[in-house]
Amino acid sequence: MKAARTEEKQVARRRWRIGNRGSAGSSAGPFGRASWMFRCMMMILFVGVTVGHSQAEAAETSPIRVMLNEETTPLSFTVDPISRQGTTLVQMRPLFERLGMELTWNQAAGTVKAVKSGTELTLKLGSKTATVNGKNVTLDYPATSINGNTLVPLRFVGEATGAIVHWNGAGRQILVVTTEWMQENNVTPAQVKAELAKLQADANAKHAEAKAAEKADSSSANTTPVNVSKLSGMYYGAEYDYAGYECGGICWKFYTFLPNNKIVVGEPVGGGPENVNCSKDQCRTYSVSGGQLKIQGGETLPISISKEGRLVIDEVHLDPVKPAAAGTKLNGEYISQGYYGLVGITPFSTSWTDYLTFYSDGRFTSDTLTIAALDTGAARTDSSSSAKTLSGTYTISKNTITLKYSDGKTESYIFDKLPPDKEGVIYVQIGGRSFHLK
């Protein structure tokens, strides 16, 4: 039921965005007027940095992920991809089967054959020579067996099948773009490679900046490192929604730890952690042991502390929300951006920019129906009526911002004002949305 409701929300949101923002469209192709948007959308696959929070360390220590075309979920392997002498090896069966190939194992000969219309590959365990359509091909590293699973050089897979295999060292990610996908989207391998090269250059630069900023933050931090055995208060962080289908690009995760081993996952109904009400919010019991956060209901997530003392849950680096100073007011136009699908690449894709203007006298205007994210794991207050331009008053108290619309409806959200980044850009977190000052 929850999955069905989430899908309905996604479809409704997409229709509303297209109707009110206009689709960026894909008719121009990824290398025409939509080229910049194509790079923006695909960048999600190649950057180890989130809005306002660095993920550089996590990217460098996380397992290698293999992404296929524009799919939002990495391929699942029994044995994680490994690196041997500079060559990435991946489990053969899951990848080849996703590429539409039929595998046959010859136990006596120690060979494995993969067949697809027009292509036949044969590899022998321990050998650096394979055959592709009857011709010998030299491998960078021989096919290897680990716990009964055959691992093969990933680049060979791409070269043998015509797919593009791109390595993103900044995020320990590999993107495989198949010939079928390129044909369906009317792009050439040369065009895709050129765009990926630009993306990687940007990713490398941003990753280097993130590492430098993370090092600077660590050296200047005065906070006490988190103790997983004594968790208290709300923590939040972000993970990527690769194609924008779930959260519009960035999914913000919230965990509020309460006394007596209670936890609220997602945004509380009343805004900040000071307003948690277990009669309205879904408060569950939890325990931490052996590097695992076990939540009532069967959900178990990996939990740890980073080198800098930050809380990490399910590979997402989290920061505590910080109470706003008494009497805090905002002044200026704040912007939140997102997208659905790979704009300029996939049909029915779109991007949008939402504006929220605050005034120092406590007024605000907004062009969006609601600040709420699609689905953050908890119920929320009623949204305001659907008008093109909304207005009202706002108050900020501790970790909560309350918007009172002129039609009488009220919404309360988590609030956190972040320090300016190295370029002087100011960000505020309002619920599941990150806004930056124009």
Q: Please report the pLDDT score of residue 167 as a whole number.
A: 83
Q: Please report the pLDDT score of residue 349 as a whole number.
A: 64
Q: Does pLDDT of 155 surpass 90?
A: no
Over residues 38-52, mean pLDDT: 43
Note whether 55 and 144 are same-domain residues: yes
- Label the pairing between strands 173-177 and 65-68: parallel
* Cβ-contact 94, 81 below 8 angstroms: no
Q: Does pLDDT of 17 surpass 70?
A: no
Phi and psi dihedrals of 95, rounded to 5? -70, -50
Query: What amino acid is encoded at 310 in this protein?
Result: R
Closest to 265 measured CA to CA, from 243, 291, 222, 297: 297
Q: Does pLDDT of 386 surpass 90?
A: no
Q: Does pLDDT of 96 surpass 60?
A: yes
Q: What percent of the chain has pLDDT over 70?
A: 73
Query: What amino acid is encoded at 204 in this protein?
Result: N
Note whether 110 and 152 are same-domain residues: yes
Note whether 315 and 339 are same-domain residues: no
Note whether 36 and 98 are same-domain residues: yes
Query: What CATH number does the domain containing 427 carry?
Result: 2.40.128
The residue segments making up the domain with residue 273 are 228-320
> Which range, 11-25, 149-163, 199-213, is most confident?
149-163
Cα–Cα dist 49/52, whole Å:
8
| Of 177, 208, 239, the domain-final residue | 208
pLDDT category at 302 given cuts 50, 70, 90 is very high
Note whether 126 and 190 are same-domain residues: yes
* Cβ-contact 174, 167 below 8 angstroms: yes
CA distances 52 to 18, 239, 368, 384, 427, Å, are: 28, 12, 22, 28, 7
Q: Does pLDDT of 381 surpass 70?
A: no
Over residues 125-153, mean pLDDT: 89
Asked if the structure places residue 156 within a domain, the reply is yes
Note whether 337 and 188 are same-domain residues: no
Q: Please report the pLDDT score of residue 396 as a whole number.
A: 94
**Higher per-residue confidence, 42 vs 319:** 319
Q: 235-272, pLDDT tens digit by residue? A: 988 877 666 666 777 788 899 999 999 999 988 888 88
Note whether 61 and 119 are same-domain residues: yes
**Higher per-residue confidence, 40 vs 199:** 199
**Higher per-residue confidence, 404 vs 354:** 404
Note whether 241 and 387 are same-domain residues: no
Note whether 376 and 280 are same-domain residues: no
CA angle 204, 209, 210 (to 5 degrees): 95
Q: In sequence order, what are the residues at sequence separation of 6 or more whose Cβ sits closer than 8 angstroms to the Cβ of residue 356?
A: 333, 334, 335, 336, 364, 365, 366, 367, 368, 371, 430, 435
Q: Is 236 left (phi over 0), alpha (psi -120 to 50) or beta?
A: beta
Note whether 274 and 144 are same-domain residues: no
The region of weakest confidence among 21-25, 233-237, 285-289 is 21-25
Q: Does pLDDT of 46 surpass 90?
A: no
Q: 322-361, pLDDT tens digit by residue? A: 888 888 999 999 988 877 665 444 555 677 788 899 999 9
Q: Does pLDDT of 14 surpass 50?
A: no
Q: Please report the pLDDT score of residue 56 as a whole number.
A: 46
Q: Please report the pLDDT score of residue 287 as a whole number.
A: 94
Q: Does pLDDT of 311 surpass 50?
A: yes
Q: Rounded to two decimals, what is the model's pTM?
A: 0.54
Average pLDDT, whole number, for the chain?
A: 76
Query: What CATH number does the domain containing 192 carry?
Result: 3.30.457.10
Over residues 386-394, mean pLDDT: 76
Q: What 3 state SS string does the chain have?
A: CHHHHHHHHHHHHHHHHHHHHCCCCCCCCCCCCCHHHHHHHHHCCCCCEECCEECHHHHHHCCCEEEECCCCCCCCCCCCCEEECCEEEEEHHHHHHHCCCEEEEECCCCEEEEEECCEEEEEECCCCEEEECCEEEECCCCCEEECCEEEEEHHHHHHHHCCEEEEECCCCEEEEECHHHHHHCCCCHHHHHHHHHHHHHHHHHHHHHHHHHHHHHHHHCCCCCCCHHHCCEEEEEEEECCCCCCCCCEEEEEEEEECCCEEEECCCCCCCHHHCCCCCCCEEEEEEECCEEEECCCEEEEEEECCCCCEEECCEEEEECCCCCCCCCCCEEEEEEEEECCCCCCCCCEEEEEEEEECCCCEEEECCCCCCCCCCCCCCCCCCCCCCCEEEEEEEECCEEEEEECCCCEEEEEEEECCCCCCCCCEEEECCEEEEEC
| Of 179, 208, 237, the domain-final residue | 208
Q: Please report the pLDDT score of residue 392 as a whole number.
A: 93
The region of weakest confidence among 145-149, 209-213, 271-275 is 209-213
Q: What percent of the chain has pLDDT over 90?
A: 18
Q: Does pLDDT of 436 surpass 70?
A: yes
Q: Which two tokens stand for residue 324?
A: 């706003």
Note whether 84 and 192 are same-domain residues: yes
Note whether 88 and 171 are same-domain residues: yes
Q: 186-210, pLDDT tens digit by residue? A: 888 888 888 888 877 877 776 676 6
